Amino acid sequence: MADILFNKIAFIGIGLIGSSLARVIRRDGLADTIVACARTEQTRKTALELDLADHVTADVGEAVTDADLVVICTPIGAYGAIAEAMSASLKPGAIICDVGSVKRAVIDAVTPHIPEGVHFVPCHPIAGTENSGPESGFDTLFEDRWMIITPVAGSNEEAIEKVADLWCRTGSKIERMDPDHHDQVLAITSHVPHLIAYTIVGTATDLEDRLKSEVVKFAASGFRDFTRIAASDPVMWRDIFLNNKDAVLEMLGRLSEDLSGLQRAIRDGDGDGLEALFARTREIRRSVIEAGQHIPPKPPGDDIND
Ligand code: NAP
């Protein structure tokens, strides 16, 4: 039995994240109507072919007209312009949420364009893959994953609860967090690891040809995992680093100090120091497994062994 939570939901951006949420909404009949807004004809066509939306448009204002819920699912660098473009067409009482990987910059970009009587609920699902576009989404992406809500001063509690209810239907576990704290936590758990992957794969790419071909040929699990992460969307990650500068730079500072310590330990032959660190990090891995966060989300039927 369909359990409609919102009459009309508008997606601004319908790639991996937007289309995965749209699939859940379709599967469980959580909305009467879905409208998807995307820039390119190809993405709009695919969204219709996959039945992710009833209507598609390139016009943000047209997409959000009469929408009860708007979900912004584009790279975060576009958020300010999108919020400005939708502002005049939002109906009173509408709820805006997003899925952006950084929260303070998103709140600063969007909030000035939210009219009186419209509610903004900043969200970040901690789930994803390295793939992009509407065809890469799947309805189990958010199962057993965290979805962080970062309310702002004066956030409407009823709107937060409605958004949380929608995300609960995806199988997500909901957590509330202060936006700045969110950005610091994600800087070390997600943003810096991606930067390291981009760096290692970049360094390997710069090796002379003979070494480079052997790196690819003998890619053992360590390097292979980095290549998967480094295949993530360039625009999305550019925007993350440009919008979470302070937290990423702070964590990078700590990391490079620790790296220097490791360099010294190796140079000095400090086996005890190295072993002690590796024993501590092994414990962290155990905690990640105990928390059930060790298996990357995969589309059903994707049996690639990573
Ligand atoms: P995606 O698959 O690349 O999809 C992006 C969508 O946004 C596409 O429909 C694209 O339409 C549209 N778009 C791109 N640039 C735009 C612009 N300047 N103006 C209007 N629309 C634009 O991206 P995604 O992986 O779903 O990521 C979307 C958001 O989710 C990002 O903010 C990201 O931080 C967040 N997020 C991602 C992950 C992840 O692992 N991927 C995880 C958690 C959160 P066209 O195709 O027509 O250009």
User: Does residue 100 line the site of ligand 1, with CB under 6 A?
Assistant: yes
Give the chain's domain count. Answer: 2
In angstroms, what CA-CA distances link 140 with 37, 71, 85, 171?
A: 23, 18, 32, 8
The answer to whether residues 136 and 259 belong to one domain is no
Q: Is residue 267 part of a domain?
A: yes
Atom of ligand 1 nearest to the CA of 17: 26
Confirm or reject: Cβ of 78 under 6 Å from ligand 1: yes
Identify whether residues 167 and 203 lie together within a single domain: no
Mean pLDDT of the chain: 94
If you average pLDDT over residues 59-66, what whole number do you get?
98
22-42 confidence digits (pLDDT tens): 999 999 999 999 999 999 999
Strand partners, 70: 10, 96
Domain span holding position 274: 181-290
Give the ligand 1 atom nearest the CA of 20.
26
Is 155 found in the same domain as 207? no
Same domain, 133 and 280: no
pTM score above 0.85: yes
Whether 32 and 147 have beta carbons less than 8 Å apart is answered as no
Inside any domain, residue 137: yes
Q: Sorting pLDDT into bands at 50, 70 and 90, what band is 206?
A: confident
Residue 249 sits in a domain whose CATH number is 1.10.3660.10
- Tell how far the Cα of 132 is from the centroid of ligand 1, in angstroms: 7
